Structure 1
Amino acid sequence: MKTDFKFSNLLGTVYCQGNLLFSPDGTCLFSPVGNRVTVFNLVELVNLLLLLHPLQCPYMHMAIGLTPRGNLLFTVDDEGHAILTNVPRRIPIYHFSFRSPVTALAFSPSGRYFAVGLGRKTEVWHVPSTPDSNAEGGLEFAPFVLHHTRLGHFDDVRHIEWSNDSRFFLTASKDMTVRIWNLKGEKGFTPTVLSGHRQGVVGAWFSKDQETIYTVSKDGAVFVWEYTRHPDAPAPDEDEEMEGVSDDGMRWRIVQRHYFMQKNAHVKCAAFHPDTNLLVTGFSNGIFGLYEMPDFNPIHTLSISQNEIDFVTINNSGEWLAFGASKLGQLLVWEWQSESYILKQQGHFDSMNSLVYSPDGKRIITTADDGKIKVWDVDSGFCIVTFTEHTSGVTACEFAKKGNVLFTSSLDGSVRAWDLIRFRNFRTFTAPTRLSFSCMAVDPSGEVVAAGSLDSFDIHIWSVQTGQLLDRLAGHEGPISSLAFAPNGGLLVSGSWDRTARLWSIFSRTQTSEPLQLQADVLDVAVRPDSEQLAVSTLDGQLTFWSISEAEQVSGLDGRRDVSGGRKVTDRRTAANASGTKSFGTIKYSTDSSCLLAGGSSKYICLYSVSTMVLLKKFTVSVNLSLSGTQEFLNSKLLTEAGPEGLLDDEGDSDRDARRDNSLPGSKRGGDPSARKHLPGVKVTGVAFSPAGTSFCAASTEGLLIYSLDSELQFDPFDLNMEITPASTLAVLENEKDYLKALVMAFRLNEAGLIKRVFQAIPYPDIPLVVGQFPTVYVARLLRFVAAQTEESPHIEFCMLWIKALVDKHGPWLTANRGKVDVELRIVARAIARMQNEIRRLADENTYMVDYLLGQAHTKTTENGQSLDNEHGKPMKMLTMNEQEVIGSQDDSEGEWIGLD
């Protein structure tokens, strides 16, 4: 089995904090997820991880910026560490540190400068030039060059907005003011302060003609500013206007004041689209509103979340609005004209408990403490359905080996069966007494389901068909921690905190159980796919392997040193001496039974060889220093008298709403200097191998991590900066006779007529050679094209040769990527079946005509008018009576012979 798994994608988490960005064409949305960035393609409905090297960006992203061309992405984390990334190639180009947290980031429309807010100051930097950007002076030696620094605000800068001509920019601050700055020295311009708001300014924007400025503050006030004279000042004389001598009294003034009137809710975010004069605001109660400026006409007001909306942005065309809510992990894209969702995704609110692959490997099901069950599509990365019938945390999930039936157990005392074709709950199993089920197992036949609880020491067994409780298995002296059926359906394995694992023969008449004595509490059990071996994980960090047929221990290994790592903020001991991380909470066998995957309450996932008991590989779950448990050593200066500095609640110092104490009586919150905030710790709660064995997934604090063997980008040999035109393609085809190059160039141009011409021009003896060297990145498209040609063109055998060559040459790749090319394979199978049916129908309709024509070929006329039969070679009168009847039956009524000339 191959073990070079690499991290390929992150599911289950769509938004954490920071700002959202649309691509220049408006089809992609960039969302910061932890210390990575996820790109959502809103047209093809797929997501991909953009930043695959998070080692140099150790903290969660706070601000991201995209150049107007969309080729460079600038990401900054909480500590001011910045990474410049090439978006098309998805590789980091340069690392930089601002040495202080960045509160705002914006690129100029010209793409030559970007401004960052560093606390109370604003810095303007040159954008690093690229060889194809036609920058002045060519390629710069220093990627980041400081242009100038602007000071003047008395509090943090929260928003930066550039003018359309990139000459001016606005900075909105928490000090309730907006300042107008100039990029270069403009004659007669002085930096201007716009004051008048009573709370911190959320955003400020120029109108399209740059004659008006709109500002929005946290208290729900919208001010419209114009450069005008005071209304009470006397009008200037005509001579002064013509000569331009006097300009006294001209300044930026408030000409209109508007208010949102959202009662106790305050404004959390706002965005303005100059081309359509559309103002969008998100409030702390989950409501957003659309208004048309400058008249402040409300378009509509809707509620999309139960919690506050943290960020909102508008794409360049002004049609789509993107909202992010960090507390619930929501990400929504709303088309306001049609009032419909383009994208609506939400991760789990609480930590995940378990996960499982579907039998076909196309979906992953996750369960969490929030009582929700989510179904994730592996190819697209989106959640396609969410089940909310459980009223408490869902602890386990498992598929029936046949069919699309999912079983889940919950702390609400129920085990539910789900139909994943109709997406409904069709069966619910409950116990006679109130219990909270912590583990569950399903018989491979799908007829029996078993569940264990931490409250009771019995195992409950139900019939799936009738829903009735069949039996209660007693024998354990402690809470049941894990259950598993043998794949052959003969035994049920249970693990308990009484330091034993038991083998139950539930289908035999005796229903005997064989106890396996261990040295510590059992955390998880796993049965090898061949049903010959049992793996048990215990609290002391040991992995023991037992023979199921002999009920004796075969081998074991000590995994404490392998899994331990990472010191949590609250740990009194170092990572090497902490006992909480030195055990495996979840284990799973690989599909081929050669490896065992194990994870626990640490930042490592271990892959062991079952035959040699050797650690094959160790995977690091996260390097995000914003999580507790990712560092081996803690800085002693971060320990204060009130506790670790990372857990102190430092918010609410200057905001009255944030200082408001809504806690219950007796709880210490608000004025207490030791008030705590939640800092999640890194851990792995579930692991699972895909049915094909080419990938595995892990449920962690950051989300659903997917590790696969084919994570690298597929290489396209012609994806280079070269001239590819229809004329050059035909020249390669006709002059050079390079059929492979011509076919790939045709696919690059994606013109149907050109592809068809090149396809039909390739000689049939060269088809295996062309297909054998054909890049895998185009195999799916070629399959779809050949299937279409099978139905359209008359060259049936030619298309069949292409299909045979594709299957022969790229069969292993098609098998490994069945989920990606399943649609194309179905199209090919349907085309072949249709061709087969048409040929069979044509043969059935013409079988008598063919027999007739073949019979006529054996008959000829003699010179004297007698008919001879070639088959017998005798005159008519010398034939037997039966032969004469057969030939005579083919004559017409006049006795003339019907034959061919």
Structure 2
Amino acid sequence: MKADFKFSNLLGTVYRQGDLVFSRDGTQLLSPVGNRVSVFDLINNKSFTFEYEHRRDIATLDLNCQSTLLLSIDEDGRAILTNFKSRTVLHHFNFKEHCYRVKFSPDGKLFALACGRFLHIWKTPSTTEDRQFAPFVRYRVHAGHFQDIVSLTWSHDGRFILTSSKDLTARLWSVHSEDKQLASVTFAGHRDYVLGAFFSSDQEKIYTMGKDGALFQWEFTPKPGDEDEEEKEDEPDISKYSWRITQKHFCYNERNKVKCVTFHAPSNLLVIGFSNGEFRLYDLPHFTLLQQLSMGQNSVDTVSINSSGEWLAFGSSRLGQLLVYEWQSESYVLKQQGHFDSMNSLTYSPDGSRVVTASEDGKIKVWDVVSGFCLVTLEGHTSSVTQVQFAKRGQVLFSSSLDGTVRAWDLIRYRNFRVFTGAERIQFSCLAVDPSGEVVCAGSVDSFDIHVWSVQTGQLVDQLAGHEGPVSCLSFSQETGMLASASWDKTIRIWSVFGRSQQVEPIEVYSDVLALAARADGEQVAVSTLSGQISIFDIATARQVGSVDCRKDIIAGRNLEDRFTAKNSARSKFFTTISYSFDGLAIVAGGNNNSICLYDVANEVLLKRFIVSKNMNLNGTMEFLNSSRLTEAGSLDLIDTAGENSDLEDRIDNTVPGSNRGGDLSTRRVRPEVRVMSIQFSPTATAFAAASTEGLLVYSVDDTIVFDPFDLDVDVTPQTTLESLQNKSYLEALVMSFRLNEKYLISKIYESIPVSQINLVSSNLPVVYVSRILRFIAEYSMESQHIEFNLLWINAIISAHGAFMSLHKQDFSFALRSIQRFLGRVAKDVVRTSKTNKYAYTFLTSTDGNLESEAQIEGKLSEDDRDVDDDDDDEKMTTASEDEQEWLGFEAKVRQLPLNDGIESDQDDSLI
């Protein structure tokens, strides 16, 4: 069992607060999610999250023009400078004040920072020097505003900076001393906050946007009375010029205020977001309304435009919504939204390609593991969804809810096709699905019985009675079909659902059972108890075979309202969710604390501990509180300072006490508490996911090795590899390409091996390369058109090394599931293509260029059919379904087609 898991990605959360930033080419979007930064690749439909964390939620960030340096600053003013290409942290720095905006200069040599009411200009740390004692050097400080600066904009030549503030003014500043006489200008006249100030493309006009919807256009014109004198002079006198308002425009939206604004100078496009979720697009300088749309009922908090002016990015922190809109075609490039409330449960699909999460808001979301995007949102439950689980076969998902129903979802058509209810309305808190998919079981805190339904009929077929307390968790064994249940009566019961009996006597546990997990082979069951123990029981003998003391491994933080230290806290010294690994050798556990622990089952030791979050905005992340903030009445951070905010909408408290957000539920404001609600290993055995307060955390084993020096010597080079290929030493060339681990070289060698040599190469292939070549074929076949060629390789490799693969399932699980995903995707397309082209194929194969009679053609067709269909195919065709008959008939005919030694030509593709 590999233990070198690392943080891989963050799903379930796409935006929290702060700025949205496009990369220079406009294909990547950077979004702050809490104290992390996520990057969405809008072209390749993928996303990743940086591994580093801030101590607080990120307030602002920016990317330089070369897309090499990323500067992110949290609410306390602590900044992290990151190499965007290599994703490594370069420097840490503390600006010691809340920073509202940060912007790099057009040339990337400087960056401007809005710290309170001051404008700071800093030199960008040099990327050429690896070690610098003081990488951040302040270049200049400007003071002039009387309140906080809310926005700043660089001029296109990098000589001036425009700032807007809450003091109802905007100001023009010079970056260098030689331009000082042209700057230090104040733009006054607005009656509300100035949310943005922008330069036109020729820098002869300045636009300022107020919170009340007023847009002022400023131009550098002669002062009144000096127009005639300027016409007589050859060179204008700058002292006789001043910035004046030449036009005023107003966008009315009833009582709704402007929340964000941005301007794209090359296309003169102005985008305004309002507090009611509406956004508008205007063409300047004529202020022509181009489009008017809405992204919901919550305010648009930030807006950004890419360099080409085609894509607009909107963010709403209330719902965690992220939107990328192409305004010319009026279509969405990206539309993502996280859960509104905390997640309760998660489950992996059988092939490990998707993760399904259930939340308190009654919604179920399906996430793609590779891309990190939400594929679909399932709505149907009217209350909190407590647990979700996949059937072992088929695309069927089951969910239980507090609304008293268990629902079955079809993930091909994305619809609800079954609703299971009990004899009386009770709240279901746990769920388990039989591996065969015949029955589904659910337990409740309102009843002591386990409800069993038939999936096909939807009827309640049985109620398993025996527990003397509410049923807390259920789990089916994936191989034996055994059902294990745990209850508040401190017992574990093993049921034979189809035998309508218990297999063994109730297993007594000395504390309340909080979580239960059955091993895949059905021989052991593990439970997590309130006493902080993970106990492992043998099902056949009903005896305890192992125990892990988890209390010493858990990092329990101290909440702000706690009167006791974290060391003396017993609130979170236990795990509430556990999961077995694919091979049953390890257990991963999480709970109402800041720890995720990976344990070795055989040796009962801790393999690795992961920290859920370092965000100090959450309760439980700090083991020791800041003593300078503690008083006799409690921590100063507990004081509600919302009434001191300058904005009316910020002073109004519309929050309602949540159910699982931590803190005291009797208060109006609830501080989130760090915890892990659900955790599960991936079926591929290379990753596990944890549903936490910060989102869906995915930890995986790093398989993306750029260079593999296995058995590497001087003679293994791309040139010698190609020479071996020319000498027809196919096995040697293939092994050498895998040693170099160059994708283009592996593809060339793989495509150049003749079909007649596939079985020979596969049988002599060393076992260390079997998993790698299977994974390569799975990835290659998704884009390749050579279907039969790939199938022949898969068949030859599995036939030659099947015995070794069965003995090492954990090493080949990821590769085999990748192959299974390829077969499932391609088989449907091939059957559909064969159906739609059946008659065209019959006509083409019956035509040889000579004119023949219809009788001769029919006779030839019947004769060909008799030749093709041998005894084995006849037996298969009689027992197969309609789709399988189409596939077998297509396969039999394709086998008659001639194949070249190599597949460099496109002849096979056209025939297929």
Question: Shorter-chain TM-score: what band?
Answer: 0.7 to 0.9
Deviations 1:247-282 (A, max 9, x none): 53x311222222221112111111100000001111
The residue number in structure 1 matching 2:190 is 197
- In structure 1, the partner of 2:523 is 532
Matched, 1:812 2:771: yes
Contact 2:363 2:377 in 1 (8 A): yes
Report the AA paired with residue 293 of structure 1.
L
Matched, 1:763 2:727: yes
Q: State the shift of 1:236 in Å.
A: 2.0
Counterpart of 2:135 in structure 1 is: 143
Question: Cα gap change, 1:801/1:569 in structure 2, threshold over 3 Å: closer, same or farther?
Answer: farther
What's 2:672 paired with? Answer: 680
Q: Distance in 1 between matches of 2:238 and 2:62?
A: 42
Secondary structure of 2:729's counterpart equals helix
Counterpart pick for 1:636 among 582, 603, 627:
627
Question: Where does residue 493 of structure 2 map in the other structure?
Answer: 502
> In structure 2, what is the Cα distance between the partners aligned to 1:473 and 1:377?
36
Partner of residue 299, structure 2: 308
Out of 170, 179, 182, which is 2:171 matched to? 179
Matched, 1:772 2:731: no
Q: Counterparts of 2:14 and 2:419 in 1: how far apart (Å)?
A: 31
| Contact kept? 2:734, 2:749, Cα under 8 Å | no
Q: 1:707-734 CA deviation, whole Å, 9 max, x = no partner?
A: 11116663499xxxxxxxxxxxxxxxxx
Report the Cα distance in structure 1 between the residues aligned to 2:676 and 2:377, rounded to whole angstroms. Answer: 22
Aligned to 1:697: 689
Contact 2:17-2:33 within 8 A present in 1 as well: yes
Deviation at 1:241, TM superposition (A): 3.4
Q: 1:106 to 1:775 in 2, by over 3 A?
A: farther
Give me the whole-angstrom Cα distance separating, in 1, the residues matched to 2:719 and 2:100: 51
Spell out the pairing of 1:287-686 with structure 2 (5 A cutoff). Answer: 287-510=278-501, 514-639=505-630, 643-653=634-644, 654-660=646-652, 677-686=669-678
The DSSP-based 3-state class of the residue aligned with 1:147 is strand
- Partner residue in 2 for 1:722: none
Give the distance between the partners of 2:751 and 2:497, measured in 1 at CA. Answer: 54
Rounded to whole Å, the distance in 1 between the matches of 2:79 and 2:249 is 38
* 1:561 match: secondary structure: coil
Change (3 A) 1:760 1:501: closer
* Greater Cα offset, 30-39 or 114-123: 30-39
| SS of residue paired to 2:259 | strand
CA deviations on 1:336-393 (whole Å, 9 max, x unpaired) are 0001111111111111111111111111111111111111111111111111111211
Q: 1:104 aligns with which of 101, 122, 127?
A: 101
Asked if the contact 1:286–1:303 (Cα under 8 Å) also holds between the matched residues in 2, the reply is yes
| Deviations, residues 400-453 of structure 1 (Å, cap 9, x unaligned) | 112221111011111111112222211111112221111010111110101111
2: CA distance between counterparts of 1:810 and 1:828? 22
Aligned to 1:82: 79
Distance 1:810 1:342, change over 3 A: farther
The answer to whether the 8 A contact 1:787-1:828 is kept is no
**Alignment check: 8 A CA contact 1:563 1:599 kept:** no
* Cα deviation 1:81-118 (Å, max 9, x = unaligned): 11111111111112211121211101111211110011
Pick closer, same or farther for the CA change 1:834–1:452 going to 2, 3 Å.
Answer: closer
Shift, 1:293, TM fit: 0.8
Of the structure 1 ranges 346-355 and 509-518, higher mean CA displacement relative to structure 2 is found in 509-518
Q: Which residue is 2:152 aligned to?
A: 160
| Whole-angstrom CA distance in 1 between matches of 2:704 and 2:626 | 36
CA distance change for structure 1 residues 32 and 827 in 2, over 3 Å: closer, same or farther?
A: farther
Tell me: CA distance 1:554–1:381, structure 2 relative to 1, closer, same or farther (3 Å): same
Q: How does 1:690-729 map to 2 (within 5 A)?
A: 690-710=682-702, 714-715=706-707
Task: Kindly state the Cα deviation for residue 24 of structure 1 after the two structures are TM-superposed.
Answer: 0.6
1:783·1:824 contact (CA, 8 Å) conserved in 2? no
Among candidates 226, 229, 253, match of residue 219 of structure 2 = 226
Q: Contact (CA 8 Å) 1:329, 1:346: kept in 2 or not?
A: yes
* CA gap 1:367/1:818 in 2 versus in 1, 3 angstroms: farther
Q: Report the TM-score when normalising by structure 2.
A: 0.81
Q: Secondary structure at the match of 2:628?
A: helix
CA RMSD in angstroms comes to 3.3
Q: 1:773 to 1:314 in 2, by over 3 A?
A: same
Measured after TM superposition, the shift of residue 460 of structure 1 is 1.0
Q: Give how far 1:819 is off.
A: 7.1
Unaligned runs of 5+ in 2: 658-665, 796-829, 831-840, 847-859, 864-912
Distance 1:822 1:623, change over 3 A: farther
Q: Which residue of 2 aligns with 1:279?
A: 270
User: Cα distance 1:401–1:161, how it changes in 2: closer, same or farther (>3 A)?
Assistant: same
State how far apart, in whole Å, the 1-side matches of 2:318 and 2:171 are. Answer: 31
- Structure 2 matches for 1:842-853, cutoff 5 A? none
Check whether the contact 1:462–1:470 (CA below 8 A) recurs between aligned residues.
yes
Output the amino acid matched with 1:763: N
Identity, in percent, stands at 49
* Counterpart-to-counterpart distance in 2, 1:549 and 1:225: 84
Distance of 2:273 and 2:490 partners within structure 1 = 54
Q: Tell me how far apart the structure 1 counterparts of residues 439 and 109 of structure 2 sit (CA, whole Å).
A: 66
What secondary structure, in the 3-state scheme, does the structure 1 residue paired with 2:108 have? Answer: coil
Task: Give the 3 Å change call, closer, same or farther, for CA 190–527 of structure 1 in structure 2.
Answer: closer
Match of 2:67 among 49, 70, 84: 70
Structure whose CA Rg is larger: 1
Structure 1 position 523, deviation (Å): 1.0
Matched residues in 1 for 2:601 and 2:762: separation?
A: 40
Structure-2 residue corresponding to 1:873:
none
Which residue among 205, 210, 219 is the counterpart of 1:217? Answer: 210
Residue 544 of structure 1 and its aligned partner are, at CA, apart by 1.8
Shift in alpha-carbon separation, 1:451–1:629, aligned structure 2, 3 A: same
8 Å CA contact retained: 1:80, 1:97: yes
Q: CA deviation at 1:476?
A: 2.2
Aligned to 2:19: 19
Q: Is the 8 A contact 1:505 1:511 kept in 2?
A: yes
The 3-state SS of whatever aligns with 2:181 is: coil
Deviation at 1:246, TM superposition (A): 8.4
Q: For the structure 1 residues 661 and 95, does the alpha-carbon distance in structure 2 shift closer, same or farther, using more than 3 Å as the test?
A: closer
- What is the aligned partner in structure 2 of residue 725 from structure 1? none
1:245-284 to structure 2, matched below 5 A, reads 247-248=239-240, 250-284=241-275
Task: Show the counterpart of 2:39.
Answer: 39
Whole-angstrom distance in 1 between the partners of 2:706 and 2:198: 43
